[in-house]
Amino acid sequence: MNQSRSRICGNFLATVASILMAGAAGCASGSGQSNAQVPTNTIAPSASSVRDLGGLTSRSISTGSDASAVNEHSLTGGAAPRSFGDFGDSGQNAAGGTLTMETLGQMLQSIGGNPQLQNNVYIYSIKDSSGLTYPFGISLSQDQKAIYFVVPMFNVDPQGWATQDALLKLLSANSSICPACFGIVDQKLFLLMGIANTNVNQDLLKQAISYVFDTVHKTQPLWSGWMQGGQQGNPAPGGNPPTGGNPPSGGNTGGSNPFQ
């Protein structure tokens, strides 16, 4: 108990000290405070990680209509979502192989939905039954060892929805949605999933796509409130379509509306 108290006390003192240090650092910017000098985003991407997503980072999930959007089911064909333990297997599905951008494109074309190839990313516009429309990209890592499925969501706005509490919830969700995860690329929140590019056939691809769509739906109660202009909105589990559309371009303007 005493130990617990002393820990709490220690944490309290550490917190107070941090606040004081942060204050001091703020007052004396450029004076070499080590805390203020912690480099951010210093990790270089590995060849197996998500490649440059190009123009996809300027697109967002929305409730606006898009005539070119295809229904989720037209891609998955009703395939059951398949999680990580099943990806990368080959024993029973040896008909597949290692995909190149070309063969990946051919496989996606055969699935349907007519993806657009931009900057080495196959891009779909997807609509679901709750009224959401979202961009969906599929690409290979630079070393072609992994296939990535990405859904750009909305801009990260520290002045709006991206509070400490919200970001902690995203990190918490990451422990439940693996192999998918939430990540941030170019100041935009993404849902990502990477699978091994080995023995991938059409069925496996459909099931992987289905898993990503399923994860979008499962996590919707978490982020749907943030779509409506920050924490003022009702999270509306199940998807409460906000009003207004999604400007399809324009990049990160840093405004409070995560759609912009």
Partner 1 sequence: MNRTNVSFLAMFVVTVASALLALTMGCSTGSAGGNTAIAPSPVSLPENPRSVAVPAMPAPNASANNARDLANAQPESVLDSKTARDLDLNGGDTQAGQPLTYETLGAALQKLGLTPEDSKPFWELKVKATTDDKCDWTFPIDVSLSQDQSVVWIACMLCPIDKNGSPSAQALIDLLAANNKLATTTFALNPSHTLFLQQPIPNIGITPQVLGSNLKTFFTCLKQSEPLYKSFFGNTTSGQGGGNPFQ
- Binding to partner 1 in span 225-254, by CB under 8 A: 225-226, 231-235, 237
103 phi and psi, to 5 degrees?
-70, -30
Binding mask 21-60 for partner 1 (x = CB under 8 A): --------------x--xxxxxxxxxxxxx----------
Other CB atoms within 10 A of residue 258 CB: 25
Q: Which stretch binds partner 1 (CB under 8 A): 108-116, 132-140, 190-198, 239-247?
A: 190-198
Binding mask 144-183 for partner 1 (x = CB under 8 A): -xx---------x-x---xxxxxxxxxxxxxxxxxx-xxx
Task: List the structure tokens of 79.
Answer: 């395939």
Q: How far apart are CA 62 and CA 37, in angstroms?
A: 37
> Which residue matches tokens 């490649």?
51
Instruction: Pick out residues in 76-95 that bind partner 1 (CB under 8 A).
Output: 83-91
- Dihedral over Cα of 65, 66, 72, 73: its sign: positive
Q: How many residues in the chain?
A: 260
| Shortest distance, position 153 Cβ to partner 1, whole Å | 12
User: CB-wise, 64 or 88, nearer to partner 1?
Assistant: 88
For residues 117 and 100, the answer to whether their CB atoms sit within 8 Å is no
For residues 146 and 211, the answer to whether their CB atoms sit within 8 Å is no
Does residue number 10 form part of the binding site for partner 1 (CB under 8 A)? yes
Does residue number 120 form part of the binding site for partner 1 (CB under 8 A)? no
Among 221, 245, 250, 254, binds partner 1 (CB under 8 A): 221
